[in-house]
Amino acid sequence: MSAAIRIVVIDDHHLFVRGLELLLPEVSAGRATVVAATGDAAYAAGVVRHAVPDLVLVDLHMPPPGGIRAIEAVRRAAPRARVLAMSGDDDPEIAVRALLAGAGGFLPKSSDPASLLQPLLAAIDGWAVMPGNLLGVLVEQRRRQAGSAVTASLSDADRDLLRLIAAGTSTVEIAGRMHVSERTVKRLTAALLRRLHVSSRAEAAALAGRAGLL
């Protein structure tokens, strides 16, 4: 017999909560049960302390103190419980804020309650659950952060050279703009590529794009 899954829902949409209460036990053959719920984010910590859940679902769009604060409170009150943020819109910014606050994943509330079982099981097993579009946003943010970290130590002259390289400017054109010889441009370019830990102009251009220098 699989272990029971105790779920707490922090959500002020009563019909949605009621749907979870009715459907989750049915689609999980009684394994997943909503053991407590509250529509007031201020009571989130107290509810999870009392209910001792395995999983906590938190709606991000709640009246003050709001879903983000509720996630932070739940993480402090029940650090072993997995937390999934939920929202009725597709705004990736608030989803990212929820992940930074301690949520282990994000699920759109547009999902049919019957289709939530597998993501919930995956979350309890330690997987980060999120839709593909949000994953794309996170990957792009990570790329930009990595690019920014690498380019942060560059001098203004290096940044100017990198922008010219990223724009596809030829060695001859760069030499003319910088009022130096082509040999000097090649030397400066080689030194810049080493500092950026890349092996070609194309890779340098991609890095400049990720760092927001273009």
Q: How far, in Å, CA of 95 to CA of 86, rounded? A: 8
Q: Per mean pLDDT, which range of 22-31, 65-74, 110-119, 162-171 is the poorest?
A: 110-119
Residue 19 lies in a domain: yes
Q: Per mean pLDDT, which range of 15-29, 37-51, 115-129 is the poorest?
A: 115-129
The pLDDT of 19-35, averaged and rounded, is 89
- The count of domains in the chain is 2
Residue 68 lies in a domain: yes
Task: Tell whether 99 and 194 lie within a shared domain.
Answer: no
Task: Tell whether 119 and 161 lie within a shared domain.
Answer: no
Task: Tell whether 14 and 72 lie within a shared domain.
Answer: yes
Task: Tell whether 83 and 32 lie within a shared domain.
Answer: yes
pTM over 0.85: no
Which CATH number belongs to the domain containing residue 154 in this structure? 1.10.10.10
The pLDDT value recorded for residue 2 is 62
Q: How far, in Å, CA of 139 to CA of 133, rounded? A: 10
Q: Within 10 Å of residue 199's Cβ, how many Cβ atoms? A: 10
Residue 139 lies in a domain: no
> Where in the sequence is the domain holding 62, given as residue range(s)?
5-132
Which CATH number belongs to the domain containing residue 15 in this structure? 3.40.50.2300
Q: Are 162 and 213 in contact (CB under 8 A)?
A: yes
From residue 184, give the alpha-carbon distance in Å to each of 123, 171, 178, 180, 189. 55, 10, 10, 6, 8
Task: Tell whether 162 and 79 lie within a shared domain.
Answer: no
Task: Tell whether 170 and 68 lie within a shared domain.
Answer: no
Q: Within 10 Å of residue 19's Cβ, how many Cβ atoms? A: 16
Task: Tell whether 79 and 125 lie within a shared domain.
Answer: yes
From residue 105, give the alpha-carbon distance in Å to each of 136, 161, 205. 14, 41, 33
C-alpha distance across the termini of the chain, in Å = 58
